[in-house]
Structure formats: C-alpha cells, structure tokens
Amino acid sequence: MATTGMLQHLCRISASLAVLLALTVHVSLPRASVPAQAPPSAGHIVEQQQLNSYLQKALSRGPRNVVLFLQDKMSLEDFTMYGGAFGNKQDSVFPNLEGALLSSSSPLVLPAVSWPASNAVIGQLQDHLETAPLYLDADTLGQLRLNVSSPALLVFRLPYGLGADLMSAKEILSGNDEVIGQVLSTMRAQSVPYTAIYTGLRPSRVSPRVRRRCVRDTVQQVNSASSSLLRRAGVYAPVQFKEGEETCILMWAKSLSVSILRRGRWEEYDLTPATFGKDVSPKLHGSSCDRTKARLVLNYQEVLGHSNFKLIFVMSQRHYKVSARRWFTLDMVELEYDGTKATFNGSRHIYAPAEYSYRCQSVTSHRWPLLVPRTSKDPANQWRVVFEDFQIQGFNVSGGEFSYASDCAGFFSPGIWMGLMTSLLMVLVLTYGLHMIMQLHTMDRFDDPKGPAISVPQTE
C-alpha cells in the first residue's frame, strides 16, 4: 500500500522539480528580517496547498516585489549533473544562483514539488500580491522603476533544451544562470527589497519505470474520467433485448425523434429521454429474434397525442451469392399508433455484413433520406423520423457489446472525388505539356550574320 501511494505521488510529480522559494535579498530594509522557514523533510513531496502556505508566509512578512524565474523544464538531476555536486565546483553552471542563495537572508529550497503545484505558482503569487504578472527580459528590466510600497510580480521565462548532446542542456542552463545574475544585479542596483523564486513548469527527466506506471495510471484515470463525463453528458448503455440469457439485439442513438404534419406544421417529439438514461428501462414487449429475423419494439405512452405509440425496427439477414457472404438489412422502421401503422423502407440503404453492426451519423426520412415511405399513400408520408449517431445490431451479438461498425459513409466522399478529379486533371495537363516539350526539335541550320544568308528551298 505504501508503494502504491508513493507511485501515485511520483505520477503527480513526474520527476522532482527544484523550486528555490523565498530567495530573498534585503537591501536597506527598514523592518525586521524575515524569519527563515523550515524546509520539508527529506523525500517529502510539496503539494499545492503546502506550497501556497510557504508563499503566504514569505510574502506576508517579506518583500512584496517578487522576481519569478520560470524555466520551461527543471529536475533535481539538473543540479546534481551540472551544479558541481561532486567536488568540482569549477564546473558548476549555477554560480550566480549559489551566490544569491548564500547572500539571502532567508533562503528556502524545496527539492520535490508536485507538477500541478509548480504550474500554479503564478496564480498563487497573483492572488497574494493582488497584481497582474509582468513578463520581462533582463535587458528591459533596467528601464523599470520599482516602488517599495506597491507590489510587483516580474516574470522571466527561461528556456530549457535537452538534445542528443548533453552539453546543449549544460550551455542553456549556464545561460539561464547568467540571466539570473543580471536580473539580481539590476534589482540590487535599484536598492529595492525583493523575493526571488526559481522553478520549472514541468520535469525535464522522468525515470522509465515511473513513466510506464504514470502512463498506465493516467490511462486508467482518463478512462474513468471519460466514463464519468459520458454519464454526466447523458451517454448511457444501448438498448438491449435478450432472448433467454443472451443479448441478441443492440440499439443506441444520441437522439431519437419523430415529427408529424398537422395543419401545415411539423410537431416534433423527442423519444430519447424515454429510451436511454441511467434509470430508464424502455418497454420492449413484442420484440423477438432468431437466426434470420430480428424485431425490436420500443413502446411509449402519450406521444404527440397518441396514447399508445410503438417504434419498431425490423431486420433480417440472408446469404448473397454475389458477395459470397451473409448480410443483414434494416428492412423497415414502423410507427404504430392507435391502430395505424406508418412504414418506412430502409433495406436499400441500411445494411451491413452479418457479423458487424451498422452505424450512421444521421438516419432520417426527409433530408438525404435513408428511410423512405413504403408507398406514396402510406401514412409514413405524414411523419418524419430522425436518428442521430445511430447504431444497431440484430445478429451475432457477443458479450453484450456492439461488433465492428460498418459506417454508412462511403469510402469515396464528395471531397475525395473532387480531390481525385482535380489531381487527374493536373496530371493530364502536365502530361500534355511534357509531350509538347518533347516534340520540339533543335534547328539543324543557323544563319551567320557575317556570311551569306541561308536560302531554304520551298521544296524541302
């Protein structure tokens, strides 16, 4: 259990971020010196709430002119590799940073800060100081005049790069340290007390073991969050009809709606809330399924003035010799209400291999219709049906889940055809141009301006 908790912390950190907090320098400060804060114990991970407490204590008693050095990436390993940690101080790339720490009246180093906490530093400082951040570079800082009485948040962005050559990272860190030294020197020259903070936005190094665990945990968290979002967005399980203990029909749609034409106006009714939902159990009596035919019946009450209303999907599957395989079709969509039946034919457009499910972004009867009234006198001419993000499967359902979906969108969409035709036209033009160029021949006779003119007989 302890190991799991530590790995979860490591995933939030993704690597130790070195945060140099409350690196304060007092220049002729009239009030008492700021008491030093106790650093966290070794191995402790500073979370966002604790970091906010450190900042609050530092800014409530210390200077309210804050200089924030915000590096793109940073890890504790950067200081052990390039900070002369093994006795070779002459190779350190942080001389200005070390000098500032030694000269500070109350330095504080937080070696392990969680990633969300380090990203929230600017927002926390802005809340404590009640002022907006001002993004500067070292050259323009000299033109700014600070006031002891009014707080200021000065932000200096520092780059970080780690390529195939490790010296590139060393050179960049050395350049960042020079920027830090230049900025602190300018601040000292203005004789204004300040608080300096050095941190990174995200880690520069992550161990492979932690990375693999973090990726796995992140995927699980994303899946869990996605499921929660889907539930809150109203996306639930499909309608299932079972024959015995086995599911034989599945149907799902983002939206199901029907409309009827009355007195020259279309009256619409949304069937979705009565079909899908967390605690919704649609009535499926009248449904049936076998190896060749499937019938899904959705029963409703009080739909557009009809006390009893049914939405029926009639499917069948058969073997087709031309393709040498079995296909299923949505033969009809029927509306039954008060003894009347309206029938839409869908077998011409709605079909899929028998092992697949069928899916379509929009199945309608009026705009680019996939469902058409069976006859010109059928009551379906007075109705419209609209199914959005529709998916159905009436055969070969396995495990209560949809099989691979056969989408209604053809492979060659109008955009693809337009691109193909345009490309073909350009190829033809290019081919014709190359052919014309290849037909050009060099002259075999040339006129010499110093000699007699060339006479070309008309018989040649």
Q: Tens digit of pLDDT for each residue in 230-244?
A: 444 456 788 999 888
Question: Which band of pLDDT confidence, cut at 50, 70 and 90, is reported for residue 167?
Answer: low
- The encoded tokens of residue 167 equal 């010296």
For CA atoms 129, 135, 138, 143, give the dihedral sign: negative
Task: Look at residue 85 in the predicted model and tell me its pLDDT.
Answer: 64
- Would the pLDDT of 29 be above 70? no
Q: Indicate the range of 105-114, 252-261, 392-401 predicted with least confidence.
A: 105-114
Name the nearest CA neighbour of 340 among 368, 304, 365.
304
Going by C-alpha positions, the residue among 17, 23, 19, 21 that lies closest to residue 181 is 23
More confident position, 309 or 417: 309
Instruction: For residue 206, name the pLDDT band (cuts at 50, 70, 90).
Output: low
Comma-separated ranges of CATH 2.40.160.110 domains in the chain: 239-407
- The residue written with tokens 């009535």 in the block is 283
pLDDT above 80: residue 207: no
Is residue 117 scored above 90 in pLDDT? no
What whole-number distance in Å separates Cα of residue 126 and Cα of residue 68? 11
Of 199, 164, 161, 165, the C-alpha closest to 180 is 199
Quote the crossing angle between the two packed helices 48-61 and 121-129, to the nearest 10°. Answer: 40
Question: What's the confidence (pLDDT) of residue 445?
Answer: 66
Residue 443 has pLDDT above 60, yes or no: yes
Give yes or no for residue 226 having a pLDDT over 70: no
Residue 4 in this model has a pLDDT that exceeds 80: no
Q: What pLDDT does 259 receive?
A: 92
108 and 38 in contact (C-beta within 8 Å)?
A: no
Closest listed residue to residue 387, CA positions, set 308, 261, 275: 275
Average pLDDT value for residue range 343-352: 89
Residue 296: Cβ within 10 Å count: 25
pLDDT value, residue 454: 67
Tokens 């086995």 -> residue = 246
Break the chain down into helix, strand, coil percent, rounded to 5.
30, 30, 40
370 phi and psi angles, rounded to 5 deg? -100, -15
Averaged pLDDT, 140-163: 81
Q: Which residues contact 74 (CB under 8 A, 6 or more apart)?
A: 17, 18, 160, 199, 200, 201, 203, 204
Confidence of residue 216 (pLDDT cuts 50, 70, 90): low
Q: Which pLDDT band, with edges at 50, 70 and 90, does 305 fall under?
A: confident
Average pLDDT along the chain: 79
Report d(CA 97, CA 182) in Å as an integer. Answer: 11
One-character DSSP codes across 339-368: TEEEEEE-TTT-EEETTSEEEEEEEESSSS
CB-based burial label for 431 (10 Å; 0-12, 13-18, 19+): exposed
Joined together, the tokens standing for residue 323 give: 């393709």
Tokens of 35: 């008491």
pTM over 0.85: no
- Identify which has the larger pLDDT, 27 or 235: 235
- Third-level CATH fold of 239-407: Porin (2.40.160)
Between 30-44, 77-91, 262-276, 350-364, the lowest mean confidence (pLDDT) is in 30-44
Q: What is the pLDDT of residue 136?
A: 85
Say if strands 194-202 and 19-25 run parallel, antiparallel, or are unpaired: antiparallel
**pLDDT the model gives residue 32:** 39
Phi-psi region of 138 (alpha: psi -120 to 50; beta: other; left: phi over 0): alpha
Highest mean pLDDT among 22-26, 245-249, 278-282: 245-249
Q: What number of H helices and E strands is found in the chain?
A: 9, 20
Of the two residues 146 and 353, the one the predictor is more confident about is 353
- Tally of residues, the chain: 460
* Residue 395 · residue 328 · CB < 8 Å: yes
Assigned token pair, 58: 């530092």
Pairing mode, strands 372-373 and 340-345: antiparallel
pLDDT at residue 460 above 70? Answer: no
Write the single-letter amino acid at 328.
F
Burial class of 40 by CB neighbour count within 10 A (0 to 12, 13 to 18, 19+): middle
User: How do residues 260-291 score in pLDDT, each as one tens digit?
Assistant: 988 888 899 999 999 988 788 889 999 999 88
